[in-house]
Amino acid sequence: MTRKAVQSSPAIAPSNGATLVSVAKAASVSLATASRVFSNPELVRRDTAERVLRAAGELGFRPNLLGAKLRAQRTRIVGVMLPTLENAVFAECWRGIEEAALAQGYSLMLVTSRYEPERERERIEYLLRHRVDGMVLTVADAARSAVLDQLDAEGVPYVLAYNQAPSRGKRHSVSVDNRVSARAGVETLIAAGHRRIAVVSGAFVASDRARQRHAGYQDAMRAHGLESLPPLSLPAHTPTQTPADVERIRRLIAAPRAPTALFCTNDMLAIGVISILKRLGLSVPGDISVLGYDGIELGGLLEPPLSTVVQPNNEIGARALARLLERLKAGGSGGSPGRGVPRATLLPHVVRAGATVAPPA
């Protein structure tokens, strides 16, 4: 029975194998009491607690969250799935999430999906294996997402970020109103005098936001008696500048009745498009106006600063996490507390003027 002399030292040497048991021993209390000092201090007498704390300090005790999580059947880990961090929108969102989680003592596990539904599945499964308590995620298409259906079926609590859930649906989300805000953005273009406005987007199939924003564009055009132009759909949501991309832009602006303003469904795209336009010899906004969407900080640091529809990215992340924690505390599993509370939170947007939009030539 004695398994002495395990000759090869095992994996990681935790520097000092101080465990709760050793702390309890050193403080002459039971394991249970030592545990309580860390998780429910109010159940322990002050001096007892202090004794334990002192022992812990002397032994260099570091709680092993694994043990706690396993036993407690709850990890206090939130899984986060974002399309990519290379688009600053999501990096800013992550920041909001991380701050909020830190403040509440929750841990995070981040995965990126690259806008690929296949990869979404795989990464979610990975989070599930880690027994995250819940998730904050941005999916390609919330309306038809295998991943979300699975999560619903399994009763895993989650909150969508950026994806805008139907207002009276069952899903929780934190976003701006993509359609309404896009319409507001396009209307500033119209107000500036533009009549021929085109949308430039990444592949619509990979982003429900892009589609909603396009719908907002159509709303604006229709409301002002203008004709919607066919959108220019580029392959990626992050900008690329392949010859093919350049050629498509060139054709777009060389057409007989070319648009005088472009509405890009995200800022990164807008930045890439502006560069291409400049290389094609056009001046922005002199020859053509460009409006972005997202409000990443970078946009404001450029010259001219990007005109764009601003969403509160940090806050979207922070609020999504906060909402998730509310759910976790309230119902535990997938339950549905919160009677009158709308599940789809819409945060306010702002159209930032910038300087990439001007009246048409």
Partner DNA sequence: CTGAAAGCGCTAACAT
Partner DNA sequence: ATGTTAGCGCTTTCAG
For the CA atoms of the chain, what is the radius of gyration? 26
Paired residues of 175 in beta bridges: 346
What track of x and - describes contact with a copy of itself for positions 120 through 159 (by CB under 8 A)?
Answer: -----xx-xxxx-xx---------------x--xxxxx--
Per CB under 8 A, 196 contacts a copy of itself = no
The answer to the question of residue 271 lying near a copy of itself (CB under 8 A) is: yes
Task: Determine, following the binding rule CB under 7 A, whether residue 43 of this chain makes contact with DNA.
Answer: yes
* Binding region for DNA (CB under 7 A) out of 12-20, 226-234, 257-265, 289-297: 12-20
Question: Is 320 an interacting residue with respect to a copy of itself (CB under 8 A)?
Answer: no
Query: Of a copy of itself, DNA, none, which one does residue 15 interact with (CB within 5 to 8 Å by kind)?
Result: a copy of itself
Between 44 and 252, name the residue whose CB sits nearer to DNA.
Answer: 44
Q: With CB under 8 A as the contact rule, which of the stretches 4-12, 140-148, 176-184, 195-203 interacts with a copy of itself? A: 4-12
Angle at 78 (CA atoms; ends 344, 19), nearest 5 degrees: 155
β partners of residue 310: 294, 350
Tell me the closest approach of the beta carbon of residue 60 to a copy of itself, in angstroms: 9
Pick the piece of the chain touching DNA (CB under 7 A) from 57-65, 110-118, 208-216, 350-358: 57-65
Query: Least distance (Å) from a copy of itself to the CB of residue 275?
Result: 4
Q: How far apart are CA 135 and CA 97, in angstroms?
A: 11
Q: Which does 254 bind (CB under 5 to 8 A by kind): DNA, a copy of itself, none?
A: none
Nearest CB to DNA, comparing residues 39 and 241:
39
3-class SS letters over the chain = CCCCCCCCCCCCCCCCCCCHHHHHHHCCCCHHHHHHHHHCHHHCCHHHHHHHHHHHHHHCCCCCHHHHHHHHCCCCEEEEEECCCCCHHHHHHHHHHHHHHHHCCCEEEEEECCCCHHHHHHHHHHHHHCCCCEEEECCCCHHHCHHHHHHHHHCCCEEEECCCCCCCCCCCEEEECHHHHHHHHHHHHHHCCCCCEEEEECCHHHCHHHHHHHHHHHHHHHHCCCCCCCCEECCCCCCCCCHHHHHHHHHHHHCCCCCCEEEECCHHHHHHHHHHHHHCCCCCCCCCEEEEEECCHHHHHCCCCCEEEECCHHHHHHHHHHHHHHHHHHHCCCCCCCCCCCCEEEECCEEECCCCCCCCC
Binding letters toward a copy of itself, positions 85-124, x by CB under 8 A: xx-x--xx-xx--x--------xxxxxx------------
Q: How far is the CB of 254 from a copy of itself (least distance, A)?
A: 19
Residue 58 binds DNA (CB under 7 A): no
Instruction: Tell me how far, at minimum, the Cβ of 101 lies from DNA, in Å.
Output: 18
Q: Based on the shown chain and the rule CB under 8 A, indicate whether residue 272 belongs to the binding site for a copy of itself.
A: yes
User: Which strands form 158-161's sheet, in the order they lie side by side?
Assistant: 107-112, 77-82, 134-137, 158-161, 173-176, 344-347
Q: Work out what residue 283 binds among DNA, a copy of itself, none; the CB cut-off runs from 5 to 8 Å by kind.
A: none
User: Footprint of DNA on residues 71-90 (CB under 7 A)?
Assistant: 71-73
Q: Which residues bind DNA (CB under 7 A)?
A: 1, 3, 6, 14, 17, 19-21, 28-33, 35-36, 38-40, 43-45, 48-49, 61, 63-64, 66-68, 70-73
Q: Which residues bind a copy of itself (CB under 8 A)?
A: 9-16, 62-67, 69-70, 72-75, 84-86, 88, 91-92, 94-95, 98, 107-112, 125-126, 128-131, 133-134, 150, 153-157, 239, 241, 271-272, 274-276, 278-279, 297-298, 300-303, 305, 332-334
